[in-house]
Every structure is written in structure tokens, then in C-alpha cells.
A and B are shown apart, each in its own frame.
Chain A
């Protein structure tokens, strides 16, 4: 089976490893680019959100590279993303590509379907024991990737040479990619983190702290958000991201552990609205409580849950005294536009802070 799957942040390093260990030939499509997006835009419905278009473009590029099977995630709403797999399949078949799509539905909602798809993925070439062993390593790798990335953004405002930090981070990613066993993965993280932390840094700085919230795909995928974490980090801002792939998967697919965030959202939005709508509301409240200077909300254009969240933001902003900048991203969004708006936002936060210090 020549299998391929969409990119989301760095997760392909771990997921690709798992699929290779299951005995599949993994096709890595080109990293999402302008070309991917325009391919997607060409065939996607006009008002589908940015992730839909990037994914469709990636699938088309993967098919061009020879993939005959595509794996993706499903869902049961009310966010649209749950239907993407089904619609992607129909569009691809309509274009005359006879690919197979394996859509992993959430195991709690559709256990039978999930088992069937896992069976299709695993059994052709691998044993269940092998699958289990490799999955543990994969999960460890995903966690390692998240740890490394989190540390990168925590360190960026402090280090003196940011380019060296990026290089150290890429080296850490390589270590994790190369690791083959559990101890190796752990060793790789340690080595990677040590490499990043050993760089000379100025701990006396007191950077602005900005929380990053919004829809999971555009928050995680640097191509979709124009690498916003790096832009902010280079401005000397400490960015804290609310979503990482491992904590999100654990909290949503297996057990429900988001009560904490939900309880904070309830005074403003006492209803699940799908996607990350309610989380976004709760997280702004949490960031305000933790003394952050501001919050940036990222969402794809026409994302319904985030629109609901956005219309509530002004009230939270006023109540809790935390500025929120909402950026809706689509295929027309340019990097320069984002940079300008972020610069202005950061300037405002800086002024706000100095005014507070004076008074």
C-alpha cells in the first residue's frame, strides 16, 4: 500500500514512522506551499475553510507522487472538519482519481468503523503486537516533538542568537526522527533540549507574554498561519500555545479531560459549538487569569465555531482586561499583512504594559 497523509505541524515525523513500521510504503507529499493551496482552491468549494483546501491540495500532490491510499481523521460535528474526509473522497473520485481514503473516526463515537479502519491499516503486513509496540514509540515521538516545540517558543525571546536556536531545534527534530526505540526517543529529546538550552541567553529580559488560541489546524500548521509563532518570537514575544497534538488527542479522542477549560467558558458560552469554539473562550479567560499580556486568536475564514467565539471576545476582553487580536486566515492572506497587524498589536501591548508600570 502506498500510503500518504496530510501534514500538521511536525506530526508527520512520528506518524510516518508508525506507518513505515507497519510495512507500508509512505509517500511524503511536498510540504504545503502556494502551489498546494492553489491546487486545493481550484477544486474545493469556495467557502470551505483553509484546512479543507490545503488538505485537498496535499492529497492531489500525494496522488501525483504515486500514493494509492490516503489516511485522515473524521469526526461527528458540529464542526465541518468531521465531514472533510467524506467530501474529499467524493471530490477526488469525481476528478477521476481512484484512491482509497481511510478515514479514522473517533473511537468513542464509531468504535466499529474505527476498528475496521485500524484493521485495514495494520493487518496487511504487520502483527497486532508489532503495531502496539510501534504505536507506543510513535506516541512517545509525538510527545517529544511537542516538548521540543514548546521549549523552542519558550526560549526564543531570551536567546541572543535566534538563528542558532532554530538550527538547534532542527537538529533536535533530526534526533527524534532517527530514534528507533523508546530509550532512544527519550535520549533524543534530552540531547535536543540540551542543545537548545545551552545557547547563550539573557534571562533578565521580561518579554511580553501572548497566548495563541484558535482552530487546531491553523494553529499547528506553520504554512497556514505564516509561522506566526516565529514572527512573534522574533519580535521578542513569549508565545504560549494552547493546543498541542498529543494533549488534544488524549483529551478529545480517548477521554474527555477538558472540564477545566469548559468551566471557565461557561459564564460566556454555555454550549459546545464544535471545533475549538468553546475552548477558545475558556482559554482567553485562563490566559487572563495567568497574567498574559494579550491573546491572538487564529481561525480559518468562515470557521463557524470561531466566529461564535469571536463575537463573544469583546465581552471577555472588557471583563478580564486582556486584549484579543483575531486573525481570520484564507488563501488571500499575505504574510506582510499578518506581520503588520502583529507588530501593531505588540506595540499596543508594550505601551499598555509601560503605562501600567508607571501608574
Chain B
């Protein structure tokens, strides 16, 4: 089973585990962090996405891949020399029904054959289609790589699951992932925002595109500065999302895309948003479907203004800013606020 490390279990030198700060990071970091710390490993997170990481990723990845995948390779590149073990799980299914985008499914292999000089990888498969207890088994298998002490792994898993539940609750309350991380860690929240008095916008997209300030060119922050009340798919409770799923004749096949579509239906249904912005990455395969689907839904249900922001590795901040500002002004005028 697990490899032994110098000083393992004695608390002398902890094994350093690298977690890339992108893709599933925004959905699961509290889970991974509590688990690794519970089994006595030290968690090393790559720096926030920046131009350097992007360029490194573009160099290593096949040119046809989408921006988030390229960025992921950049994060791996930044981590590989600083850690003993890299955590690149193969996320296959997260709700037991549908899979993730095929690129997630092949991600460990893509990374392994694109980047040279990788440390040991944890590329275990998380496939909740296999049954209800699969998450526990997955976490246990990860834990076994670090320690043979079963009780310790079980305790770590308990802590991890508690942590992720708290995290999800915080997201529902409208915190961004970074705010929620600091709240979980330090016990106090960054200063709470006040609800914008103006308009309410649903900003839809995948967590790794929305919450990564480099990818989304700080879109959420900019909207808030303009007095916009921003809601995202992560602020809709799970049961409500699932209810929306039942109203579609045929659902999409990808976990994150489904959440975007369902959230769109949810916000259209309860008549609460003044507009919808869809944030999508250049070359994103699932989004070709998702984008058209929600565009048509927004058009048919009650003519809610809809805008798509496509992001690529060259996206300039000013370009996006101008478009978003114009869109917000338009909505404000429509509502009689300007």
C-alpha cells in the first residue's frame, strides 16, 4: 500500500501534497485540505492563477485544449518541484448520474504525458456512479497513501466531510470561495457585503472560470463595484437545482454544465434576476451546448437580457469591462435607475 516517507507519522517532516489552485479546487478544497491535514500531510497550494502560469500551461498543453485545462497544466508545472506528491484525482462522476467533461476524465493522463519530471501522482478515480459509499472509499484510499492508521483516516474523513458541508453552506449564503476559505480557516469572515440596491444579475459559469480572478478578469468584483447584486449557480440549494433538472426533456451529460443550466432555469423561474451573464472559456466543448441552451431558455421564458462573455488566454481586462459596463447600464436604464 502507501509508500513510506522519511519521518512519516512522527510529525518530523510532513509529506508535502500539491493541490493545483484551479478546476475542482473551488468546489472541493476544504475537503482535500482537512483530509490531508488529518493524515499528517502538509498541503501546498499553487499560487493564484497569473500570466506566468498561463504561459507555462500554453507551452505544455496541446493547442486545441481550452483555457482552464491549459491553466491547470501551468499550475502543475508550478507545483511539481515544490512537493513530494501531486494530487490530481480523476473526477468521473460527482452526483452518481452524469460524468464531468471528458477532459476531466482524461486529465491525469493528459498531464502525465504532457509534463516531464512529475513527482508521484495521486490519480485515484472518484466515480460516485459506483454507489453511495464511493466517496468514503475514495477518501479512504487517498488516506492510505499517507498512513496505515485506520482510525486516523476515519477521523480525517469525518473532519473533511464536516468541513465541506460548512463550506457549501457558506457558498449558499453568498460568499465567494476565497471568503469562505478564510472564514473556515480563521474563524472570521471578511467584511460582509451589503446587498446592492440596484439590479440583480445571475452570473453563470463553472466555478473554475467564475471564481478564478485571472480567468474571469475579476468580473464578479467589477460587477459588485457597480452596485450589482451578483448570484451564481453555487448560491442555489441542491434540492432546488435538482427540481429544475426534472423540468428539462433531456439533461446534459456533464456535472458542471447541468448545474449552470439548472441554475439558469431556477433564476428565470423565480423572476428574481434582471439579466444573465454566461461566462465561458474559449474552446470549451460542453459550453457550446450549454450556452445555446440557456440562451434559448432566456429568450423564450420571458425575454431576460442575456450576454455571453468568452474568455481566452488573451482576454484583455478593458474589453470585458466595457462590455459588462454597457450591459449593466442598459439593465439599469430599463429598470429606471439611471
Q: Please report A residues at the B interface, Cβ cutoff 8 Å.
A: 44-49, 52, 76-80, 82-83, 86-87, 90-91, 94, 268-275, 277, 301-305, 307-312, 314-315, 328
Report how far A315 CA is from B284 CA in the complex, Å.
Answer: 25
Q: Look across to chain B and name the residue whose beta carbon is closest to the beta carbon of A305.
A: B102
A304 touches B285 (CB 8 A): yes
Mask, B97-117, CB within 8 Å of A = 1, is 011111101100110011000
Q: A78-B105, A271-B105, A310-B62 are in contact. Are A302 and B253 (CB under 8 A)?
A: no
Mask, B19-62, CB within 8 Å of A = 1, is 00000000000000000000000000000000000000000011
A273 touches B102 (CB 8 A): yes
A269 touches B288 (CB 8 A): no
Q: Which of B285-330 contact A (CB under 8 A)?
A: 285-289, 291-293, 296, 299-300
B110 touches A312 (CB 8 A): yes
Cβ contact of B249, chosen from A79, A80, A86, A315, cutoff 8 A: A86
Q: Which of B55-103 contact A (CB under 8 A)?
A: 61-62, 64-65, 90, 92, 98-103
Report how far A328 CA is from B285 CA in the complex, Å.
Answer: 14
Point out the residues of chain B lying under 8 angstroms from A314, CB to CB.
113
Point out the residues of chain A lying under 8 angstroms from B289, CB to CB.
45, 48, 80, 83, 87
* Shortest beta-carbon distance from B293 to chain A in Å: 7
A91 touches B61 (CB 8 A): no
* B158 at interface, CB cutoff 8 A: no
Point out the residues of chain B lying under 8 angstroms from A47, CB to CB.
282-285, 287-288
Q: Look across to chain A and name the residue whose beta carbon is closest to the beta carbon of B287.
A: A47
5 examples of A-B residue contacts, CB within 8 angstroms: A82-B253, A271-B106, A307-B103, A311-B109, A328-B64
Point out the residues of chain B lying under 8 angstroms from A315, CB to CB.
113
Point out the residues of chain A lying under 8 angstroms from B125, CB to CB.
271
Report how far A29 CA is from B296 CA in the complex, Å.
Answer: 27
A90 touches B64 (CB 8 A): no
Point out the residues of chain B lying under 8 angstroms from A90, CB to CB.
292-293, 296
* Shortest beta-carbon distance from B151 to chain A in Å: 32
User: What number of B residues sit within 8 Å (CB to CB) of A?
Assistant: 38
Q: Please report B residues at the A interface, Cβ cutoff 8 Å.
A: 61-62, 64-65, 90, 92, 98-103, 105-106, 109-110, 113-114, 125, 249-250, 252-254, 282-289, 291-293, 296, 299-300
Q: Look across to chain B and name the residue whose beta carbon is closest to the beta carbon of A48.
A: B288
Q: Look across to chain B and name the residue whose beta carbon is closest to the beta carbon of A82.
A: B253
A80 touches B288 (CB 8 A): yes
Point out the residues of chain B lying under 8 angstroms from A305, CB to CB.
102, 106
Point out the residues of chain A lying under 8 angstroms from B64, CB to CB.
301-302, 307, 310, 328
Most chain A CB within 10 A, of B61, B99, B100, B299, is at B99
B110 touches A87 (CB 8 A): no
Point out the residues of chain A lying under 8 angstroms from B98, CB to CB.
77
- List 19 additional contacts besides A80-B285, A307-B62, A310-B64; criterion CB under 8 Å: A44-B292, A45-B289, A46-B288, A47-B282, A77-B99, A80-B288, A83-B289, A86-B249, A269-B109, A271-B125, A274-B99, A274-B102, A277-B106, A308-B109, A308-B110, A311-B65, A311-B113, A312-B109, A312-B113
Q: Look across to chain B and name the residue whose beta carbon is closest to the beta carbon of A74.
A: B250
Q: A90-B293, A94-B299, A314-B113 are in contact. Are A272 and B105 (CB under 8 A)?
A: yes
Point out the residues of chain A lying under 8 angstroms from B90, CB to CB.
271
Cβ contact of A308, chosen from B103, B288, B293, cutoff 8 A: B103
* Shortest beta-carbon distance from A78 to chain B in Å: 5
Q: Look across to chain B and name the residue whose beta carbon is closest to the beta carbon of A275.
A: B102
Point out the residues of chain A lying under 8 angstroms from B291, CB to CB.
45
* Shortest beta-carbon distance from A245 to chain B in Å: 23
* Shortest beta-carbon distance from B192 to chain A in Å: 38
Q: A83-B253, A268-B109 are in contact. Are A311 and B102 (CB under 8 A)?
A: no
Point out the residues of chain A lying under 8 angstroms from B250, CB to CB.
83, 86
B254 touches A78 (CB 8 A): yes
B292 touches A91 (CB 8 A): yes
Point out the residues of chain A lying under 8 angstroms from B99, CB to CB.
77-78, 274
- The 8 A-B pairs with the shortest beta carbon distances in the complex, nearest first, are A77-B253, A308-B106, A47-B288, A304-B285, A315-B113, A273-B102, A304-B102, A48-B288
Report how far A52 CA is from B110 CA in the complex, Å.
Answer: 26
Point out the residues of chain A lying under 8 angstroms from B102, CB to CB.
78-79, 273-275, 277, 304-305, 308
Point out the residues of chain A lying under 8 angstroms from B103, CB to CB.
304, 307-308
A302 touches B288 (CB 8 A): yes
Report how far A314 CA is from B115 CA in the complex, Å.
Answer: 12
B286 touches A80 (CB 8 A): yes
Q: Look across to chain A and name the residue whose beta carbon is closest to the beta carbon of B123.
A: A270
Report how far A167 CA is from B228 CA in the complex, Å.
Answer: 67
Report how far A94 CA is from B301 CA in the complex, Å.
Answer: 12
Point out the residues of chain B lying under 8 angstroms from A49, CB to CB.
285, 288
* Shortest beta-carbon distance from B325 to chain A in Å: 24
Point out the residues of chain A lying under 8 angstroms from B286, CB to CB.
80, 304
Point out the residues of chain A lying under 8 angstroms from B65, CB to CB.
307, 311
Point out the residues of chain A lying under 8 angstroms from B105, CB to CB.
78, 271-274, 308
Q: A87-B293, A94-B296, A307-B64 are in contact. Are A76 and B253 (CB under 8 A)?
A: yes
Q: Look across to chain A and name the residue whose beta carbon is closest to the beta carbon of B110.
A: A311
* Shortest beta-carbon distance from B73 to chain A in Å: 9
Report how far A203 CA is from B282 CA in the complex, Å.
Answer: 50
Report how far A314 CA is from B292 CA in the complex, Å.
Answer: 34
Point out the residues of chain A lying under 8 angstroms from B101, CB to CB.
78, 304
* Shortest beta-carbon distance from B253 to chain A in Å: 3
Point out the residues of chain B lying under 8 angstroms from A82, CB to CB.
253
Point out the residues of chain A lying under 8 angstroms from B254, CB to CB.
77-78
Point out the residues of chain B lying under 8 angstroms from A269, CB to CB.
106, 109
* Shortest beta-carbon distance from B111 to chain A in Å: 9
* Shortest beta-carbon distance from A304 to chain B in Å: 4
Point out the residues of chain B lying under 8 angstroms from A301, CB to CB.
64
Report how far A77 CA is from B254 CA in the complex, Å.
Answer: 8
